[in-house]
Amino acid sequence: MYIFLGNFSLLEICYVTTTIPNMLANFLSTRKSISFVSCFAQFYFFFSFGCDEGFFLCITAFDRYLAICHPLHYPHVMTKQLYTGLVSFGWSCGFILFLTPVVFISQLPYCGPNVINHFLCDPVPLMMLSCSEDTTTQFIYSTFNAIFMIGTFLFILWSYALVILAVLRMPSEAGKHKAFSTCASHLAVVILFFGSVMVMYVSPGSRHPVKMQKFITVFYSVITPLCNPLIYSLRNKEMKAALRKMFGTEQGVHEYK
C-alpha cells in the first residue's frame, strides 16, 4: 500500500508542477503569454499525469480489495513482479493514451484570435480557438474522456463494493473499524478527484461558462492535490494526536488551572 501511495504522491508533485508555477508567474507578470509548443506540452503533461492519477487510484483500490477480501492470498498474489508491473503501468499508460488527443487537437487550424480565456492550456478552450469546428476531433476527445473516466470510476466502485461486503461480514468490530479507516481516506480522494473531473469533461453540457470552467479546473488541479496529503495523514496516529492537542488546547489549559 505504501509503495503505491509513495508513487501517487510523487505523481501529484509532477501533476501540479506542470501548471501552478506558470500560473503564479502569470499572476505576477504583465505579459501573460505562452508559446504554441509550450502550451501543448503543458496540455500533454498535465492531462497525462492526471490520467496516470486515475490509474493509480484504480491500482490502490485493487490493492485494498486483495488485502481485505483475500488477506491470506495477498502475499502470494501481490508479488514484487506484480506491483512493479502495476507501478510501471500506472506511470506509462497516461503518456501513451493521451498522445492521440494531443496530436489531433494540435493539428486543428488556428488562425486567430490566439487568446485563451483560461489559466492553463485546457483542451476545450483550445478547440474553441480553432477556425473550423472539427466534429471528428471533438468526438474522439469526448469518447476518450468518457471511456477513461467512467471506466476507472466504475472499477473503483466495484472494488470498494466488494470490500464493503467483506468488511460487513467480519465478526470483529475492531477489524471492521481498521478496514473502514484504511479505505475511507482513499474513497475521499477518489470522490474529490473524479467528482470534479467528471463534472467538467463527462457531463452532458461539457461547454460550461468560462467562469465555471476555471472554478472546476482550480478545484481538481489545485485544491484536490492540496487536500490529498491531509486526507491520507489523518490515518497517522501522530497526526491524530496533534489535531486533538490543537483543538483541545483551551480545554487542557482550563483543566490545568
pLDDT digits (tens, 9 = 90+) for 124-141: 888 888 887 777 887 888
3-state DSSP call for residue 112?
coil
Q: Over the chain, what is the mean pLDDT?
A: 80
Considering the chain, what percentage of its residues have pLDDT values greater than 90? 5
- How does DSSP classify residue 69? H
Place of cell 513482479: 81
Domain contains 108: yes
Domain contains 207: no
| Residue range of the domain that includes 102 | 2-171
Domain contains 22: yes
Domain contains 195: no
Domain contains 234: no
Is residue 55 within 8 A of residue 94, CB to CB? The reply is yes
Domain contains 253: no
Domain contains 97: yes
Domain count, the chain: 1
b/e map 105-131, b = 16+ CB within 10 Å: beebeeeeeeebeebbbbbbbbbebbe
Instruction: Give the pLDDT confidence of 60-116 residue by residue, as tens digits.
Output: 889 988 888 888 888 888 888 988 999 999 899 889 888 888 888 888 888 777 888
Name the pLDDT band for 45 (thresholds 50, 70, 90): very high
Name the pLDDT band for 254 (thresholds 50, 70, 90): very low
Domain contains 177: no
CATH of the domain at 108: 1.20.1070.10
d(CA 103, CA 137): 10
Whether this model's pTM surpasses 0.85: no
